[in-house]
Every structure is written in structure tokens, then in C-alpha cells.
Structure 1
Amino acid sequence: MASDPKVHTFEEVAKHNLTKDCWLIISGKVYDVTPFMDDHPGGDEVLLSATGKDATNDFEDVGHSDAAREMMDKYYIGEIDASTVPAKRTYIPPQQAHYNPDKTSQFIIKILQFLVPLLILALAITVRNYTKKE
């Protein structure tokens, strides 16, 4: 590793997201893994999917060997300026719809509000006509 490492911004590192130009952030360090793309056991897609973010968790979840960790030294190109790395986003679930205790659809309620008075009127007219004939 270099004695005086270069400090890179997140924006700068994120631009290197191609097979022919690929940089990764792992544990606060920046690696140019472009020469390793063809040789990576998981394929270049795995490395490309780790660009544009802090790939530390992705790297650690795989459980890389000590040999793989030592191999990283030759791809090291500097440190990441932690203040430029976006904060991790917290998942916010969507708001639930208003709880309708009787499970009746609002559409059905509106239809009934329209139809019930009509049915009452029709019943009243029918009763009136029936009682007139006698």
C-alpha cells in the first residue's frame, strides 16, 4: 500500500462503474479492480453490482478467504472520504390505508348511499299506487 494514500470522494469513485473501469469501496478503502474483472470467481457482474455504493457488506457477506484479502492489496488506490458517502437509507414502509372495521369497500358505501333513497322512493310509489286501486 502507498505510504500517503490518495483520498477519493464518493462521487469520483461512483463514476468508475464499467467493466473496463471499475472501482470499489470496501472498509473505507478504494480499490481499482478493473484488471481483476475477468479473473473474479463470481464473475464481473458481481463486482459491477457493488459499484456506486459502499460494498463492505457485500464483500463480508461472501466470506472471502485470507488469500483473497491479501490479493486486494495490489488493487488498492486510496481511501474514501467518509463525509462524501451517502447515509444508508432506512426502509420506510408505505402508509396503510384507513382501517375499515367492517371491511366494506368505500365504493359500495357510496352506491348504497345513492340506491337506498331510490329504493325507498320506489317502494313508497308502489305502496301508494297499490293502495289507490282499492
Structure 2
Amino acid sequence: MASSKLYVFDEVAKHNKTKDCWLIISGKVYDVTSFMDDHPGGDEVLLSSTGKDATNDFEDVGHSDSAREMMEKYLIGEVDSTTVPTKRTYIAQQTDALKEDNSKDLLVKILQLAVPICILGLAFAVRVFTKKEE
């Protein structure tokens, strides 16, 4: 990389979603958004490494030489090391898939409540309209 852009930690930490994911590894900033679907460990592994220095996460896995070479195409700059906190304070965002699952769960809960109410209402209406006058 001929001229390297310098990023502050807070800017890099904002990129913490499946469709916008940046990582800090060994002082360098990588935009791995286009690699999310292809990562052998899945996108959750990459998302869990956002909002912090992911060097230890990366090294602990023991990536191959070819994986290390592949990183070069995702390199977008360097991080200002003075802006990286020593302790992680960032709480990871839910993945897009998890958010979708949560909205499905809400729909199921609404239906679980609404269906019995509709059945009771229908039963009441049938009883009222079919009741013989005495």
C-alpha cells in the first residue's frame, strides 16, 4: 500500500455490521465486508472481532500463509495506536440475520396471542347469533 490512510479507533469501530465490517489486526485496518460470506468460520467470527484490536483473535486461530496473503486485498489503512483502548468497551451489534429472527419471534408472539382471541370472538359471535329466543 503506497500511501496508507490513518484511522482513529472510533471510526473503525463504527463498521461493525455484516454489510459494513472493518477489523484492526496488527495495527492495520481491513475492510472485510466483501469476505463475510466466504470466511470459513462464518461472519459471526468476524463480527465478534469488531470494536477492538482483533490481533489476538486472528493469531489464536493460526491462519495459514495463504490466508495472511489474502488479507492484503482487504487492507485499507492503519489505525492510530494511541486511539485504541486497552480494554474493549464496545458491545457487538446483532447480526442482520439475528435481527430478522427477532422480528420473526415477535410476529410469532403476536400471532400466539391474536389467534386465540379471534377464536374466542368467533365462538361468542356464533353463540349470540345462533341462540334461540326463549
TM norm. shorter chain > 0.5:
yes
Per-residue CA deviation, residues 38-61 of structure 1 (Å, 9 max, x unaligned), is 000000000000000000000000
Aligned to 1:27: 26
Q: Superposed, which structure 2 residues align to 1:6-25 within 5 Å?
A: 6-25=5-24
Q: Superposed, which structure 2 residues align to 1:28-107 within 5 Å?
A: 28-88=27-87
- Check if 1:5 corresponds to 2:4: yes
Structure 1 letter corresponding to 2:73: K
Runs (4+) of structure 1 exceeding 3 A deviation are none
Provide the aligned length of Structure 1 versus Structure 2.
Answer: 88
User: TM-score, with normalisation over the residues of structure 2?
Assistant: 0.64
Aligned to 1:120: none
Report sequence identity in percent: 80
- Which entry has the higher C-alpha Rg, 1 or 2? 1
* Distance in structure 2 (CA, Å) of the matches to 1:30 and 1:54: 10
Instruction: Name the SS of the counterpart of 1:40 in structure 2.
Output: coil
Structure 1 spans left out of the alignment, 5+ residues: 90-134
Calculate the aligned-residue CA RMSD, in Å.
Answer: 0.9
Instruction: Name the SS of the counterpart of 1:22 in structure 2.
Output: strand
Bigger helix share: 2
Deviation at 1:15, TM superposition (A): 0.1
